[in-house]
Amino acid sequence: MASVETTRSGGDTGLPDLVLRGMTLGYLGWMVVLPIIALGFQSLVAGPQAFLDAVLDPQAVHALKLTVVTALVMVVINVVMGTATAWVLVRYEFPGKKVMNALIDLPFAVPTVVTGLMLVLLYGPSSVLGTILGTYGFSVIYSQPGIVLALLFVSYPFVIRSVQPVLLELDRAEEEAAATMGASGWLTFWRVTLPTLAPAIFTGAALSFGRALGEFGSVILVAGNQPMKTKTTPLYVFGEIESGNKQGAMAVSLVLLALSLGVLISLNLYQRRWSLEDGK
Amino acid sequence: MSIVVENLSKRFGTFQAVSDVSFEVPTGQLVALLGPSGSGKSTILRIIAGLEDPDTGRVSLTGEDATSVPVQRRGVGFVFQHYALFRHMTVRQNVAFGLEVRKKPKAEIEEKVERLLKLVQLHGYADRYPSQLSGGQRQRVALARSLAPEPKVLLLDEPFGALDARVRDELRAWLRRLHDEVHVTSLFVTHDQQEAFEVSDQVVVLNHGKVEQYGPPQQLYERPVSPFVAQFLGQVNVLPMKALWNPQAIDLKHIQEAFGSDVLNTEEAVYVRPHDLDIHREPNTRPCWRGRIERLTPLGGIVRIDLSINSDERLQIDLPRDQQLALSLVQGDDVFVSPRSFTPIGPPKQIPGDAAGTFYTI
Pairing of strands B277-280, B210-215: unpaired
Inside any domain, residue A257: yes
Contact between B79 and B157 under an 8 Å Cβ cutoff? The reply is yes
Q: What is the rounded CA–CA span in Å between residue B171 and residue A236?
A: 67
Mean pLDDT: which of A2-16, A190-204, B267-281 is highest? A190-204
Among B189, B209, B232, the domain boundary falls at B232
Q: For position A177, which CATH number holds? A: 1.10.3720.10
pLDDT in tens, B316-351: 899 998 888 888 888 888 888 887 877 766 544 333
Q: What is the pLDDT of residue B233?
A: 86
Q: Examine the domain organization and report whether B212 and B63 are in the same domain.
A: yes
Contacts with B126 (C-beta within 8 Å, 6 or more apart), sequence order: B90, B91, B92, B113, B114, B117
Does B50 share its domain with B149?
yes
The range of the structural domain enclosing residue A265 comes to 57-90+110-278
The yes-or-no verdict on residue B247 having pLDDT over 50 is: no
* pTM of the predicted model as reported, rounded to 2 decimal places: 0.79
Question: Strand ranges (DSSP E) for B166-264?
Answer: 185-190, 202-207, 210-215, 237-240
Say if the Cβ atoms of A171 and B82 lie within 8 Å.
yes
CB contact set of A206 (below 8 Å; sequence gap of 6+): A263, A264, A266, A267
Confidence of residue B216 (pLDDT cuts 50, 70, 90): very high
Rounded to whole angstroms, the Cα distance separating B90 from B117 reads: 12
Q: Which CATH number do you get for residue B269?
A: 2.40.50.100
DSSP code of residue A39: H
Q: How confident is the model at residue B221 (pLDDT cuts 50, 70, 90)?
A: confident
User: Distance between CA A174 and CA A186 in Å, rounded?
Assistant: 14
Integer Cα distance of A254 and B180 in angstroms = 70
Give the CATH number for residue B149: 3.40.50.300
Number of domains in chain A: 1
Last residue of a domain, one of B188, B204, B232: B232
- B134 and B204 share a domain? yes
The answer to whether B154 and B185 are in contact (CB under 8 A) is yes
Q: How far apart are CA A134 and CA A123, in angstroms?
A: 10
In contact, B286 and B250? CB cutoff 8 Å? yes
Residue B292 reports pLDDT greater than 50? yes
**B309 and B207 assigned to the same domain:** no
Distance (Å, rounded) from C-alpha A13 to C-alpha B114? 57
Q: Which residues of B touch A179 (CB under 8 A)?
A: 51, 71-72
Q: Please indicate whether, in this complex, the C-beta atoms of B87 and A177 are within 8 angstroms of each other.
A: no
Mutate to test the interface with B, among A166, A172, A180 (most CBs of B within 10 A): A180
The phi, psi pair for A251, rounded to 5°, reads -65, -45
pLDDT recorded at residue A92: 93
pLDDT band at B353 (very low <50, low <70, confident <90, very high): very low
A176 — pLDDT class (breaks 50, 70, 90): very high
Cβ <8 Å between B78 and A180: yes
The full DSSP string for B331-355 is TT-EEEEEESEEEE-S--S--SS-S
> Is residue B186 less than 8 Å (CB to CB) from chain A?
no
Which helix (H) or strand (E) is B320 found in, with range? strand B313-320
Within this chain, do residues B200 and B306 fall inside the same structural domain, yes or no?
no
Chain A interface includes B13 (CB < 8 A): no
Interface ipTM above 0.85: no
| Tens-digit pLDDT profile for residues A32-81 | 999 999 999 998 888 899 999 999 999 999 999 999 999 999 999 999 99
Partner residues linked to A154 by β-bridges: none
Does pLDDT of A191 surpass 80? Answer: yes
Judge whether A195 lies within some domain: yes
The pLDDT mean for chain B works out to 85
Decide if A3 is inside a domain: no
What are the beta bridge partners of residue B239?
A: B270
In a shared domain, residues B280 and B193: no
Asked if the Cβ–Cβ distance from B86 to A192 is below 8 Å, we say yes
Query: Which H or E element spans position A20?
Result: helix A15-28
Q: In a 3-state reduction of DSSP, which class is residue A248? A: helix
Longest dimension (CA), chain B: 81
Separation of alpha carbons B302 and B314, rounded Å: 19
Q: Which strands, in side-by-side order, build the sheet including B153-157?
A: B76-79, B153-157, B185-190, B30-34, B202-207, B210-215
Would you call A182 and B102 a contact, using CB atoms and an 8 Å cutoff? yes
Q: Does B239 touch chain A (CB under 8 A)?
A: no
Q: Are B193 and B236 in contact (CB under 8 A)?
A: no
Distance CA B211, CA B232 (A): 13
Q: For residues B184 and B198, state if they share a domain.
A: yes
- Residue B235's Cα: distance from chain center in Å? 14
Using CA atoms, how far apart are residues B330 and B345, in angstroms rounded to an integer? 31
pLDDT-derived band at B283 (thresholds 50, 70, 90) equals: confident
B359: left (phi over 0), alpha (psi -120 to 50) or beta: beta
Which range of residues forms the domain containing residue B342? 237-361
Note whether A133 contacts B: Cβ–Cβ < 8 A.
no
Q: Are residues B125 and B251 in the same domain?
A: no
Give tens-digit pLDDT for B61-83: 999 999 999 999 999 999 999 99
What is the number of structural domains in chain B? 2
Is the pLDDT reported for residue B311 higher than 70?
no
B72–A182: do the CB atoms touch at under 8 Å?
yes
Instruction: Using the 3D structure, point to which of B232, B262, B283 is the last residue of a domain.
Output: B232
- CB of B251 within 8 A of CB of B344? no
Is a pLDDT exceeding 50 seen at residue B356?
A: no
Residues B49 and B70 in one domain: yes
In this prediction, residue B265 has a pLDDT band, given cuts at 50, 70 and 90, of low
Percent of chain A with pLDDT over 70: 94
Q: What is the mean pLDDT of chain A?
A: 90
CA dist., res. B117 & res. A27, Å (int): 56
